[in-house]
Amino acid sequence: MQQKTILGAIIVVVLIAGGFVVWKLQVDIRGTATATAVTNSGWKLYQDSSSGLSFEYPQSFAVTKQDRTGSYSIYVTDPQTRALYLSVMVVNDPSQPGVSKMFTGPYPKKIPPTGNSSTITIKQRTFNGLKGIEYYGYQSEGHSYSDAFMYKNNHLWEVSFDPVLEGRITYYPQPGIPLPDKDTYEKILASIKISP
């Protein structure tokens, strides 16, 4: 029963990640947000006072916020190359039962393959000082490989990682979907701060 609940929570997350993949294929920069300041490094600083999220990004990049019922996502893209550098999803109510079970050990957890999905691995991970979980594996619903860090406080946070740059899968060139620059990708990830 517990495995089914965890699998259900993963499927919900996968559906959201599937939307992320579709978005990645059709980068839409409508609703671009503006930064509040320029940092000492010459990058812009994005701050979301309602959730406590902040990060830095190059001045030429675009930040897009997409609102949904009960959640929203923030994307950072390079408009010139259309490469996606950051995707953060914020869920306003982290008390969903399936999600809570994902945050309950023991770790690592292995969710057996279903349909066309691979085994999903869930393990503890610390990211920029935040203790949370990481899950990764091939998701048939989104026809993609997912790799994300999840953190829970008064919100549920999902920071999507690029599985190629994280070394989880091999890069397979696809027309119109460029691989982000690794140094810029890592610098943006390293700048992410979430207020507890």
Q: Say whether pLDDT at 152 is over 80.
A: yes
E strands present in the chain = 32-33, 37-38, 44-48, 53-57, 62-68, 71-78, 83-91, 109-111, 120-127, 130-139, 144-152, 156-160, 193-194
Mean pLDDT over each residue of the chain, to the nearest integer: 76
The pLDDT score that the predictor gives to residue 143 is 54
Q: Say whether pLDDT at 109 is over 80.
A: yes
- Which is more confident, 107 or 58? 58
Tell me the whole-structure pTM to 2 decimals.
Answer: 0.74
The pLDDT score that the predictor gives to residue 15 is 41
Q: What is the pLDDT of residues 24-63, one digit of tens each?
A: 433 333 333 444 566 667 899 999 887 889 999 999 999 9
